[in-house]
Amino acid sequence: MRALEQFNGPSQSSNFAGPLGLFVNNTTGEIWVSEGGVPRVTRFPRFDNLLGKQNQSDLQIPSPAGVAIAQDAFDNLFVADISNRIAIFFPGVAAVNAANNIPGRALAPSTVAIAQTQGYHFTTTDTDADPSGWPAVLADTQVLVNSIPAALQNVHQDQLTFLMPAGSPTSGSVEVQIVHPSTGQTVAVGQVDMAPVSPGLFTINSQGTGQVMAVNDDGTPNLPNSRIQRGHVISLFGTGLGTVSGAPPDGQAPSDPVPADTKPDVYCEPTLVDPANIMFSGLAPGMIGVWRIDFKVPDTTAPGATVPVFIRMKSIASEVAGQGTTIAVSQ
């Protein structure tokens, strides 16, 4: 036999430093290499895709020198290293507030959150829970937050929506695991920072920008062609209020409004709303994990289809610079 292809390192500018472990996945064909002289594990695409392209790795993972390397039936990576340890690498997962989608922002207990996969599909068929109640297992998928099952709203291929358990800590970080209970497979693992509150406003485009989800005092949706009048009360909808006394169990909606102990700051162009004109702040009836804020639109607000509005709780705003959330106001 003769060598048809050689690769000398993970890139054109980086050579191997004492290759020790080699594993070729029988299903995907991907090639994994561990080294003695560099603390990394390197992945290359299948051999067919390497022909004529030397040193074309597509992933590097920091790891002490690995003397042996393998993958299990779920493609999770196992590395036996010189520190007398076996490290297991699962796909990563990140979680964000489902309303504002701000990456890296800490989450609060009882926040509706989106977990986003990093290289693995949660399911092959999108599945949504009944709005009347969210289960702990959906589409053979479960979210564990520090080993506590979370209620699931939906499970889609690349993301799922869950309720951060009410018993979660309000500081530090938690471990979020995505598992398939039927097989015991750990699909993904990640760390999520926690805080007492994590304010976010739901928007029409589901991206956390532009027109917010809001209802006028006559019961109509607040939209550019259905505006709230100045001096009238509008209801905004968000999530991330944190712990609320009297809240229902996780995955259940309150039958009546559940007021919170404190009110947020509400900004409606051009000023902060007088606290006396914030009529309600708390959990919305019939909705799981949803924070409702009712306030009277200031008389000083200029009419417009895109009037800036946001909320702030414990010095944390519902948006970041350049994001911009709005309501529609008439005379």
**pTM recorded for the entire structure:** 0.81
| Shared domain check, 75 and 107 | no
C-alpha 243 chain-centroid distance: 19
Q: For residue 311, what is the domain's CATH number?
A: 2.70.50
Q: For residue 64, what is the domain's CATH number?
A: 2.40.10.500
Boundary of a domain, candidates 40, 73, 89:
89
Half-sphere exposure of 54 (CA within 13 A, CB side): 12
**Residue 9 is assigned to a structural domain of this protein:** no
Phi, psi of 47, rounded to the nearest 5 degrees: -55, -40
**Residue 13 is assigned to a structural domain of this protein:** no
- Domain range holding 79? 19-89
Q: In sequence order, what are the residues at sequence separation of 6 or more whose Cβ sits closer than 8 angstroms to the Cβ of residue 234? A: 214, 215, 216, 217, 222, 228, 294, 295, 297, 327
Examine residue 249 and say whether the peptide bond preceding it is cis (omega within 30 degrees of 0): no
Boundary of a domain, candidates 144, 168, 193:
193
Q: For residue 119, what is the domain's CATH number?
A: 2.60.40
Number of domains in the chain: 3
Model confidence at 54: pLDDT above 70: no
**Residue 211 is assigned to a structural domain of this protein:** yes
| Shared domain check, 68 and 140 | no
Q: What per-residue confidence (pLDDT) applies to 19?
A: 87
In this prediction, residue 263 has a pLDDT band, given cuts at 50, 70 and 90, of: very high
| Shared domain check, 309 and 257 | yes
| Shared domain check, 116 and 73 | no
pLDDT tens profile 132-184:
899 999 999 999 999 999 999 999 988 999 999 999 999 999 999 999 999 88
Q: In sequence order, what are the residues at sequence separation of 6 or more whose Cβ sits closer than 8 angstroms to the Cβ of residue 70? A: 23, 77, 78
Q: Residue 38's CB: how many other CB atoms inside 10 A?
A: 20
pLDDT tens profile 269-327:
999 999 999 999 999 999 999 999 999 999 999 999 999 999 999 999 999 988 899 99
Q: What per-residue confidence (pLDDT) applies to 43?
A: 83
What is the pLDDT averaged over residues 246-264?
A: 97
pLDDT tens profile 79-125:
888 888 888 776 778 899 999 999 999 999 999 999 987 767 788 88
C-alpha 188 chain-centroid distance: 13
Boundary of a domain, candidates 89, 110, 143:
89
